[in-house]
Amino acid sequence: MTVPTVLVLDADPLPRLGRLTGRARVEHADASTLAERLPHADVLLVWDFTSRAVPAAWPGDGPRPRWVHTASAGVDHLMCPELAASDTVVTNARGVFDQPIAEYVAALVLAMAKDLPRTLELQRERTWRHRESQRVAGTRACVVGSGPIGRTIARTLKALDISTALVGRTPHTGIHGPEDLDRLIARADWVIAAAPLTEQTRGMFDARRFDVMQPSARFINIGRGGLVVEGALADALAKRWIAGAALDVFEHEPLTPDSPLWRAPGLIVSPHMSGDTVGWRDQLGAQFVELYERWETGRPLLNVVDKQRGYVPGR
């Protein structure tokens, strides 16, 4: 009996797929060999979720994988019209990153409120400078993106006694719709971008949105880099339209040494690490194996992406 072929778009370190021994033929590809090998694969595991190789290599109407899984929450890096129009099922790593990212956001909120970046800077300078810091209890947050990551962020911020409003694609009980966004960010002390990158959300945080925010507000993006017009953010910080910001994701990664974002006043830059805790790659590999076991036995897959919307549907 022929076993299915699982093609892995490689990244270092490779996933641990030993549990598939004898149940799948695991092959490997990089950007230069992906197009050649895709038509012969039953399953594609996009382990290198920073790669943009899938849209260019996708075989269109020819033979193609029946299932594509990406080891990431976002799927914008692999979607293309041909894949969206096909009967290939796409799944993502929904659930792996929720709590780590929420913890990271809470850490950023506390760091900015307590002026920890300046404290560390003064320590390096051996300068004793007493300052007052801000209480986070009683402040207001607006979390944009009502998926599992956004909801977990909202719960975590509420534990710090931060009044939190959640904004999603469509309004539900406890979730505001897009029509409420400007009103909510105008009142918020913390604006957190946690939305998927789609045609509707690309560039949603532009000069107009930063102008709507309070001068005391801070902005955090742990969603996708394309949600933010980065030049507009740098300008808003320079003009002190907002008090500070933190970016963990960027339009182009890695951030180049000559990017003006490195010099933007009040901006914390981190290298796309908010969800990456010790053991995260093992979790991603185990999640794929569990999904494969469902797929090989004909059970419905979990984390199925709506290819037209660009994310897993749900509240």
Q: What is the mean pLDDT of each run of 10 residues along the chain (315 residues)?
A: 93 96 97 97 97 94 95 96 96 98 98 98 98 98 98 98 97 96 98 96 98 98 98 98 98 95 97 98 98 97 96 83
Q: What angle do CA 226, 272, 20 make, to 5 degrees?
A: 105
Tell me what pLDDT residue 314 has: 79
Residues designated as active site: 224, 253, 272
pTM of the shown model: 0.95
Tell me what pLDDT residue 60 has: 80
Contact between residue 291 and residue 298 where contact means Cβ atoms under 8 Å apart: no
Terminus-to-terminus CA distance in the chain, angstroms?
Answer: 42
- β pairing state of 43-46 and 25-29: unpaired
Tell me what pLDDT residue 257 has: 95
CA 208 to chain CA mean position, Å: 23
Calculated CA dihedral for residues 101, 264, 271, 250, nearest 10 degrees? 80
**Phi and psi at residue 216, in whole multiples of 5°?**
-90, 0
**135 Ramachandran zone, left/alpha/beta (phi>0; psi -120 to 50):** beta
Q: Provide the residue type at 32 as one letter.
A: S
Tell me what pLDDT residue 61 has: 83
> In 3D, which of 238, 244, 252, 247 has the Cα closest to residue 269?
247
Separation of alpha carbons 115 and 133, rounded Å: 6
Separation of alpha carbons 25 and 32, rounded Å: 20
Tell me what pLDDT residue 110 has: 98
Contact between residue 145 and residue 196 where contact means Cβ atoms under 8 Å apart: yes
DSSP letters, 52-121, are -HHHHH--TTSS--SEEEESSS--TTT--HHHHHSS-EEE--TTSSHHHHHHHHHHHHHHHHTTHHHHHH
Detail the DSSP E strand segments found in the chain. 5-9, 25-29, 43-46, 67-70, 89-91, 140-144, 163-167, 190-193, 218-221, 244-247, 267-269
Tell me what pLDDT residue 1 has: 62
